[in-house]
Structure 1
């Protein structure tokens, strides 16, 4: 089946309506070349007699602006793909790197994330690294695979027959890390008008005295982003090794409103100290304080299970003399903290009418995920002063507890120098910071722009014809439990375990929703790009062997069939956005693990001379890591509108 597409060339603008060769079902792309818009004829999906038809000026089209893209230092970002979707379906301003002609005629937006699709699978050359070539310019997708690929890779023919160009993209992150593609796509800064509105609402809330601490609870998505251990009944994203426990799931009857009103959760502030043993870091002291009364409900030295190598006194405040009197074991300390955080067990022999158990308490701390990992406890209700207060330079940086206490409470802590920290002092500092937040309001201690879910922004839009606020219906169909993460504010959120389930549910929600997001993960899984998060004391899983060409070909064939089925079900004038998010992250992950191990060893007092060569980290390694991160951030974007 012979197919072809003309290349972008500089053309004179005609004085009359242009005519193109078009086969039913074909679409058009326009690419700006040297400052002028150039027509790129769609490749044919089947042999057909060419018919001269007039260009339908009302047909929605995407037009890349090569002149604008050339000026850029970086490729199109994930946040710009997010803003493109918001421009089409909601009220975001138009992008400068792309023109959406007749955007108001687009009826739906379908965004599909498919990690694993790389240039070589599509027969594209690697993105140029030469200073003479711009790596950000959209690439023309060739129809046949490159000859050197042979028959090992079948590619994704749907991509080649549906989209004429692949636009390079760049995932978020800094020089040593790649940040979450999902978090960036689903969350963005609020508009200036909305910020003014929220400021007024917060001021009014302060006047009315909204003092509910639950407004500062971490969302599940934020907990995952900050590497908190997650209870299994909340989301199956954390693999617990032996010795880990989780607080019991909250009984539904504990949430019932009593005659006195909403039942308030108890809040406990916690801080833990560690020492270094033969088996790594172990818990040596834990302190728990009642938020309301200030009473210390538990403060105990904990005897390590292994011989101590370093007491880490300059940080922990623990000395050999102090720990010599400790008799409490780790399991005993863990069990006591778990009892504090668990609802009481009712007496089965009581003749009185049983009362609903109190709600599960809130745990408060600073970088609380470290304390939970030290105790090997998973808890669902957390407030973290390192997150509800901002670093002056914004996220992902986190402020230190001593700095926060000095800045916002006007008192100093952690002043013992080499004597280390006092966990009771640190726990009380967290109590004071949360109380200050409750008095001053949610904006207190913030420096950067507020962020919100794209679904919140879409819900305020009145762009839909005949609709008002809330008229835009959104759906998220993804692996895992999106209703507890990025899809928690969507109209519909469906969790799946396979790509086939994702496709089935996408087809089901398409007719009734204006914006639909889905993610296909089979390709990334078979390539070994996805590894489950494990507890810090569990060694990382062994790398999976590379898949055979036959296995890859099967996965690509299945992916191609799903994309064809999805496309066939799209209503007319539906914008289809497919993006890959990033490239292979494995080299970056391995290097970051080495860097983290080296930094941990140095913090624990080991000298560089005592480290093995494979444990060392050099300036050259840092440069290699930065290069690996930039390569991992590379992705591809495909845009089209179904006629």
Structure 2
């Protein structure tokens, strides 16, 4: 049975703890209610739950009185009191929590507020949205309308259906400085993935871009497109239509198709300072390691240090994944699925492993044979620097080039060599077993020359960073000069001393163990753009194609970047057209316009000496340069016409053609001890402050390059 309180109250007095007033039930209830309504807050839940017909009627009458009271009194305090009175008959509720933005028109977050809308003091603050001027409003509306217009125009009809096509609109007016190559690199990543675009370019329907091609043309100089030779007060960009009005614009006459494809030539700036200019190609193909990736590697390194704190020699050994990525021969001891050719050998396992492995350094010298490079000398050095083995090896194939300037090998030495490759393998395996850590610089090359696989390797070219960043590796002679204060591989000497190189590698390894993991590292480090693209979901494919005198082994060793080298530009053009069809990002290097490229190609290509018919008589005085530009124009036309629709095409020039800069910089490096003077050369004059100022002035001009961008429609 439910309990019901009596309706015949005999004027009991209830004490409201919150209001501190007396509440009576009876004939004077209306008077009491009015008193409470003006001075108190809602009573306790017990009073509101005691309900009956009489009580309800009385409350209704009080409500009517309250309504009349509200109508007659418009004072703010009275309204608030009446509002409190109406809550007497309601069940008390929890105190409402303030919600940022509720009942307010402001939707912006206060300055200094966190993501929940609270300010630093813990209270919510409504920030007044900055008012735009009439001109700013018009400009904003104009941009919105222009963006909508571009999206409408960026469509074509295919089989009666409108299809979105990518379009590029350059905004050179927004440039406040020359475009840094890092911004161009970010633009490339934006074209391939979904990164944020730069302010100087707007892409409509970016997702419709299927391929991105970069043509890096060494020797493509801004002075060929109207910029004065002195390069003073160079603008941030030049419109293509202005090429006709510039009398010194050889590019317009020699490259008519090329200049027709672009709307602007923007000016880039290669990183550098104090007279130094960094590699433009490296800057374009490298990007800083992401914060998450850096933190992950740092965490892994800390865990490995703890695991090897009692034996740091093994901490610096290459892991299996690193060996695979660097192209090392993998022994079956580490990977049972690894397969080696029949003429390859593996180092011997041991019955009783020792707690701390011995250190042995190795260095090999090679010669060029009819089957490629072959082993000609192998040297082993122990921890004390003493020679364990120094043997000249006679290749089985005929020798085409002794590479004397690098190897020190001469025909006379090879006449007396009797050791075969198989015997050399046997000699090395006698000293190197699984109780040995093999130390070397670029050790994978030595092991491949020996056709030998070893599981425990330490590579000083990986333990130290190059100032150029990855994938470049530091030169052994530079590390020796800067860290060991020892000069090796002197240019005045003929060839390298393999024992000297092996000792240097061993000393660099022990120095690393002594100084710690961060010694010889530069900050967070860099990674290849191709590595960044390969991590994208889905992964993006990259390829680098170049025509040069010698292959670039640095990029050839990258696992995320396919690499191909060609002897001439004709083959490069042909393969670039095919590569675009199967890769998301294609990077090509042309030497066509490099000052020395014409002389190199004359022997293998007789067509270069033919006078180009498109060169006007106004530039006949610069026939050699005009001929090279005309050749590149034909290459570009052939590629551009074959590229699929929706291909982003960027053309960049490298270091500016400033001959005085190259002369001064070469002398600067010799004076600073960074390079050795040429053999039998005249004494080099000391470097002065005047020379430094001249170098910086010429360097600033040489850092300016040309940038062209368009989308193939």
Q: Which residue of 2 aligns with 1:290?
A: 381
Q: Is 1:142 matched up with 2:241?
A: yes
**Where in structure 2 are the equivalents of 1:226-305 lying within 5 Å?**
256-257=345-346, 260=349, 267-268=360-361, 290-291=381-382, 293-297=383-387
The match for 1:76 is: 179
SS of alignment partner, residue 595 of structure 1: helix
Residue by residue over 1:147-190, the C-alpha shift from the partner in whole angstroms, topping out at 9 and shown as x without a partner, is: 64598983322332111111111123332222222222222211
Aligned 8 A contact 1:116 1:584 in 2: yes
1:88 and 2:191 are equivalent in the alignment: yes
Question: Kindly tell me: are residues 119 and 146 of structure 1, through their superposed partners in 2, closer, same or farther at Cα, counting changes over 3 Å?
Answer: farther
The alpha carbon displacement at 1:479 in A equals 1.9
Instruction: Indicate the residue corresponding to 1:479 in structure 2.
Output: 547
What per-residue deviation string (whole Å, max 9, x for no partner) do you get for residues 465-506 of structure 1?
xx3xxx311111112465622353245321111111110110
Is the 8 Å Cα contact of residues 143 and 161 (structure 1) preserved in structure 2? no
Are residues 1:453 and 2:528 paired? yes
SS of 1:117 mapped into structure 2: coil
Query: Aligned residue for 1:202?
Result: 301
> Cα distance, 1:401 vs. partner?
7.3
- After superposition, the Cα gap between the structure-2 partners of 1:20 and 1:615, relative to the gap in structure 1 and judged at 3 Å, is same
CA displacement at 1:554 relative to structure 2: 2.7
Identify the residue that residue 158 of structure 1 maps to in structure 2. 257
Q: Distance in 1 between matches of 2:669 and 2:144?
A: 64
- Residues 156 and 18 of structure 1: is their aligned pair in 2 closer, same or farther, counting only changes over 3 Å? same
Q: Secondary structure at the match of 1:615?
A: coil
Distance 2:223 2:486 in 1: 55
**Which structure would you say has the larger Rg?**
2
- TM-superposed deviation, 1:572: 1.9
CA-to-partner distance for each residue in 1:586-634, whole Å, 9 max, x for gaps? 3212112333455569999xxxxxx98x835432222111111111111
Q: Structure 1 residues 299, 512: CA separation in 2 closer, same or farther (over 3 Å shift)?
A: closer
Q: Distance in 2 between matches of 1:403 and 1:255?
A: 37
Q: Of Structure 1 and Structure 2, which has the larger fraction of its residues in helix?
A: 2
Q: 1:494 corresponds to which residue?
A: 564
Higher RCO structure, 1 or 2 (CA under 8 Å, sep 6+): 1
> Structure 1, unaligned stretches of length 5 or more?
1-9, 29-54, 223-250, 271-287, 301-329, 369-380, 406-411, 415-423, 532-545, 605-610
| Distance change (3 Å), C-alpha of 1:137 and 1:528 | same
Structure 1 residue 111 corresponds to structure 2 residue 180: no
How far, CA to CA, are the matches of 1:16 and 1:176 in structure 2?
A: 44
2:271 is matched with: 172
RMSD value over aligned CA atoms?
5.8
CA–CA distance in structure 1, aligned partners of residues 251 and 440 of structure 2: 54
1:503 matches 2:573 = yes
TM-superposed deviation, 1:93: 4.3
Does residue 434 of the first structure (1) align with residue 509 of the second (2)? Answer: yes
Matched, 1:122 2:225: yes
The answer (yes or no) to whether the contact 1:487–1:493 under 8 Å persists in 2 is: yes
Task: Please state how far the C-alpha of 1:558 moved relative to its aligned partner.
Answer: 1.8
Give distance in 1, aligned partners of 2:430 and 2:628: 46
Moved more, 191-200 or 432-441: 432-441
| 2:621 is equivalent to residue 563 of structure 1 | no
- Measured in 2, the distance between the counterparts of 1:116 and 1:392 equals 24
Quick one: structure 1 residues 185 and 140, their matched pair in 2 at CA, closer, same or farther if it must change by over 3 Å? same
Q: Give TM-score scaled by structure 1 length.
A: 0.56
Specify every segment of 5 or more residues in structure 2 that has no aligned partner in the other structure, as ranges. Answer: 1-137, 156-161, 309-313, 327-339, 351-356, 364-378, 391-404, 433-437, 444-453, 488-498, 602-618
Judging changes above 3 Å, is the alpha-carbon distance between structure 1 residues 569 and 266 closer, same or farther for their aligned structure 2 residues?
A: farther
Number of residues paired by the alignment? 455
Residue 591 of structure 1 is matched in structure 2 by 664
The question of whether the paired residues in 2 share the 8 Å contact of 1:390 and 1:448 is answered with no
Q: What is the match of residue 619 of structure 1?
A: 689
* Cα distance in 1, alignment partners of residues 431 and 632 from structure 2: 43
Secondary structure at the counterpart of residue 171 of structure 2: strand
Q: Deviations over 1:405-438 (max 9, x none)?
A: 8xxxxxx999xxxxxxxxx999989646524646
